[in-house]
Structure 1
Amino acid sequence: MNRLYNIPLFFIVFFLISSCSTAITDYQNSNPPFDIKSYFNGEVIAWGIVQDYNNKVNRRFCVEIKGDWQGNTGILAETFYFNDGEVSYRNWQLTKKADGTYRGTAEDVEGIAIGKQNGFAFQFNYTLNLTLDNKTYQVAMDDWMYQIDEHKVMNKTSMKKFGVEVANITLFFDKELPVKQCQK
């Protein structure tokens, strides 16, 4: 009989643990604040990995970013160099709104990306049109950036399909001068 009571208890505990998540407001009192307009203005380089749902690294990549901000409007031109030889591009058009949030569009992003900054953290949510084997899938991206210092930013992104995590992306951004380039 005790076994029957353990099963519902397990599911209740599992639900409570899995429903807990970090909110951008958790970083409200952290300093210095992460100003993405300042950080992503000029040239930045990043290195990253893509891990599948089993945490196996499937791809490695380097990305060169050129940012240009005019007031509250910015363009981030990204060139991705993958270890398998693929080269891809994404051009973000970003706008900082009066309420402090960011809105963004890009050629492979469905609809509008929403960004929020608080303390040293920035969260960006969007739907990416991901093409694999000549088929396009829409995946939800939950992108978190954490500024380490004036030159370095860490990024963790969760990629989900139907609410199930299918991949994780980890990036390390560096804009320390002289800015390096990806080896082509």
Structure 2
Amino acid sequence: MSKIYFVKKYLAIGLIAFGLFGCSSPSVNQYAQETPKLDLSEYFNGTIDAYGIFTDRSGEVKKRFTVLLVAKWSVVNGKKTGILDESFEYSDGTKQKRIWTLVETAPGKYTGTADDVIGEAIGESAGNALNWSYTLALPVDKSIYHVQFDDWMYLVSPKVMINKAQMSKFGINLGEVTLSFYKR
């Protein structure tokens, strides 16, 4: 075997490895030093207004919506537990309700359930960021699709949080939800 063959082989392996690692998503821990520090039970407590859009893969806005969120926390079975009652109103006139139950399982670690969430949402926070992963039963026309969400929230100020969520099915990007939360 020639030297050129081995150089090409190792160069190809290096490029493949770079491509795989280059596509990895960020870790919530990289935001650990960012401020203001996000305390989920503090921010999602009371009344919050949210304004959002759904964009498809090409970036075209397909839906606009508002959310009225009323949240409260208590201690249940020794764990901080939050109820987030979300009322959605879409630009096409449709309305939707989602009630989340969030449980802090350890410092910075959360689980979440809702009627249209398949199984449990798993969340982790550090610094000003929170990352959720979950599968949502999404109604589209007269069908229900199970889509995966990679959901990131960033506390910008004590009253404002920005939320970006990538939606996918079978690993294929379907679009993105962008929300701006404002705590009253």
TM-score after normalising by structure 1: 0.86
User: What does residue 21 of structure 1 align with?
Assistant: 25
User: What does residue 130 of structure 1 align with?
Assistant: 138
Change in CA separation of 1:38 and 1:99 when aligned onto 2, cut-off 3 Å = closer
Q: Which runs of 5+ in 1 are unaligned?
A: 177-184
Secondary structure of the corresponding residue to residue 126 of structure 1: strand
Secondary structure of the corresponding residue to residue 67 of structure 1: strand
Once residues 24 and 117 of structure 2 are traced to their aligned partners in structure 1, the CA distance between those partners, rounded to angstroms, is: 27
**Correspondences of 1:100-119 after superposition (within 5 Å):** 100-119=108-127
**Correspondences of 1:21-100 after superposition (within 5 Å):** 21-71=25-75, 72-100=80-108
Once residues 14 and 50 of structure 1 are traced to their aligned partners in structure 2, the CA distance between those partners, rounded to angstroms, is: 31
Once residues 37 and 100 of structure 1 are traced to their aligned partners in structure 2, the CA distance between those partners, rounded to angstroms, is: 11
User: What does residue 5 of structure 2 align with?
Assistant: none
Secondary structure of the corresponding residue to residue 47 of structure 1: strand
User: What does residue 181 of structure 1 align with?
Assistant: none
Paired residue type of 2:123: G
1:131-168 deviations in Å (ceiling 9; x for gaps): 11111111110110000000000000000100111010
Once residues 50 and 67 of structure 1 are traced to their aligned partners in structure 2, the CA distance between those partners, rounded to angstroms, is: 23
Paired residue type of 2:46: G
**Correspondences of 1:133-172 after superposition (within 5 Å):** 133-172=141-180
Secondary structure of the corresponding residue to residue 30 of structure 2: helix
Deviation at 1:99, TM superposition (A): 4.4
Larger radius of gyration: 2
- Count the aligned residue pairs: 171
Deviation at 1:31, TM superposition (A): 2.4
1:110-150 deviations in Å (ceiling 9; x for gaps): 00001101000011110000111111111110110000000
1:159-179 deviations in Å (ceiling 9; x for gaps): 010011101000000013xxx
1:40-71 deviations in Å (ceiling 9; x for gaps): 11100000000001110000000000001013
Paired residue type of 1:70: S
Deviation at 1:19, TM superposition (A): 2.2
Q: Which is richer in strand?
A: 2
